[in-house]
Amino acid sequence: MTQIMNNLADSIKAMGDQAREAALELSVLDTERKNDLLFALADLIETRKDVIQAANAIDLERAKANGISGALLDRLTLTDSRVKGMAQGVRDVANLPDPVGEVIEVHQPENGLDIQKVRVPMGVIGIIYESRPNVTIDCAALCLKSGNAAILRGGSEAFESNSCLAGIIGEALDANGLSPATVQLIPTTDRSALNTLLQMHETVNCIIPRGGEKLIEFVTQNSTVPVIKHYKGVCSIYVHEDADLELAARIVVNAKCDRPGVCNAIENLFIHEKVAEDFLPEVARTLEEEGVELRVDGETAQAILDQARIDYIPATEDDFYEEFLDLILSIRVVPHLLDGVAAINKYGSAHSDAIITADQDAAESFMNRVDSATVYWNASTRFTDGNQFGFGAEIGISTDRLHARGPMGIKELCTYKFKIYGQGQIRFQ
């Protein structure tokens, strides 16, 4: 058993060595050749549709046998239009401008050196994800365009689909004269392989975990490779005393109800006490119609709803920390903008938060003081998304502060190097 474990660890480590070699080659590949590869991959995905769906069918049967339910089963399914969507996604990435080689800054200090800060690939990126097999293709395309080798570790429920897609990526790489080690899928769902990957800081430059809270926590606890977390979204809206209340209600309902299961949906609503009586019954009624369960904190707010005969559940403090990902909203009335700010900084996950107000000073104060990746004035938090920001496809939404914060596109998959042009300069202490 230990022998097998050692062999597995060795073979995962060997994947890292090969990925690093492949990354060095890929890092100097020109834009045209990267794009040729991506277009070839897109075509191959369409050509191999039947093979992909046959592999997917095995995953689906196993999932059904394991009693996996509707929404998860749906996420796992590669329909005709999803296969087409994967291919189109790869073409979209090919059409993005190449981030590699861009001169970000130029410095010309007194010593006469010409210092150019140039965007370059990070190297080898490990991506850990769950459930949807199309993530395999999305991540591969984003890594390839940004010049990075990738080691992918998908979820066990999509193992056959992911293996098939990885095979197709390897075929496209090979046909375009690149090492198949440029994109590798960890060929087992064994947890110990993940543990090995997380310790490979000599060959892997960055780990991106995408998935549930437990996965992210496991990676954070066990990785010696730098991690960019894609963690939860406990987002809030603060309705200021000078808000246009109709606009506020429209935004709150959109931010809660449009897609309650995603990270940029709101979980908390804070309302200034001066507008609570006017605003709360109106918005609560609409939310009720949309099927939202209200968890309401404090006597003031509860009394307002009692009088309006609107149902609610008294909120506990824990509710405000919760990422419901469901039609549930915690509500509290606060006496001051700074109380709203403090509540968001305390309970929120620093993802996306909005203020609704007609007062510019209040808006600026809120946006400066709320310690979140994305802060909105008079707009729905639902816009936190690489495509909506105009960045093109995203690898995810970083909830970290180092390197990338918020929507993360191909530029954020790069690092930089300093290229320094001298004329024989030497330095004395």
Residue 258 contacts residue 383 (beta carbons within 8 Å): no
321 binds its own copies (CB under 8 A): no
Positions in 71-110 near its own copies (CB under 8 A):
107-110
Nearer to its own copies, 56 or 223 (CB): 223
> Minimum distance between the CB of residue 400 and its own copies, rounded to whole angstroms?
6
Tokens representing 119 are: 């965007």
Beta-bridge mates of residue 406: 398
Minimum distance from residue 5 beta carbon to its own copies (Å): 20
Cα separation of 322 and 82, whole Å? 32
**DSSP symbol at 98:** P
**Strand ordering across the sheet containing 235-239:** 313-314, 293-297, 328-334, 266-272, 235-239, 352-356
Applying CB under 8 A, the span of 46-54, 62-70, 217-225, 296-304 interacting with its own copies comes to 217-225
Stretch that binds its own copies, among 20-28, 40-48, 164-172, 307-315 (CB under 8 A): 20-28
Alpha carbon distance 397, 389 (integer Å): 12
The neighbour count for residue 395, using CB atoms within 10 Å, is 26
DSSP state of 97: P
Q: Which is nearer to its own copies, 123 or 211 (CB)?
A: 123
Site for its own copies in 253-312 (CB under 8 A): 254-255, 258-259
C-alpha separations of 409 from 145, 262, 385, 390, 397 in Å: 11, 18, 10, 10, 9
124-128 and 149-153 beta bridge pairing: parallel
Range 112-171, binding its own copies (CB under 8 A)? 113, 115, 122-123
Q: Count CB neighbours of 18 within 10 A.
A: 19
In the bound complex, what is the minimum distance in angstroms from residue 81's beta carbon to its own copies? 15
Q: Which one of the spans 84-92, 150-158, 216-224, 316-324 is the region binding its own copies (CB under 8 A)? A: 216-224
> Contact with its own copies (CB under 8 A): which of 47, 307, 316, 368?
368
**Which residues between 175 and 214 bind its own copies (CB under 8 A)?**
201, 205-206
Shortest approach of its own copies to residue 20 CB, angstroms? 9
Size of the site for its own copies (CB under 8 A): 71
Q: Do 157 and 59 form a contact (C-beta atoms < 8 A)?
A: yes
Nearest-approach distance from CB 146 to its own copies, in angstroms:
13
- The residue within the footprint of its own copies, chosen from 79, 95, 224, 316 (CB under 8 A), is 224
80-94: string of b/e by CB count within 10 Å (b at 16+)? eebbebbbebbeebb
Residue from 135, 251, 263, 283 in contact with its own copies (CB under 8 A): 251
Q: Does 396 bind its own copies (CB under 8 A)?
A: no
SS3 269: strand
Does residue 332 contact residue 280 with C-beta atoms inside 8 Å?
no
Residues facing 396 on adjacent strands: 408
Q: Considering the rule CB under 8 A, would residue 232 count as an interface residue with its own copies? A: no
Stretch that binds its own copies, among 43-51, 61-69, 74-82, 225-233 (CB under 8 A): 225-233
236: contact with its own copies by CB under 8 A = no
Taking contact as CB under 8 A, which single stretch among the options 1-9, 320-328, 329-337, 413-421 is the one that binds its own copies? 413-421
Of 85, 226, 281, 298, which lies in the binding site for its own copies, with binding defined by CB under 8 A?
A: 226
| Residue 423 binds its own copies, judged by CB under 8 A | yes
Residue with structure tokens 């509290």?
332
Among 71-79, 138-146, 315-323, 410-418, which window interacts with its own copies (CB under 8 A)?
410-418
User: First-to-last CA distance in the chain?
Assistant: 57
Residues in 343-362 at the binding interface with its own copies, rule: CB under 8 A:
345
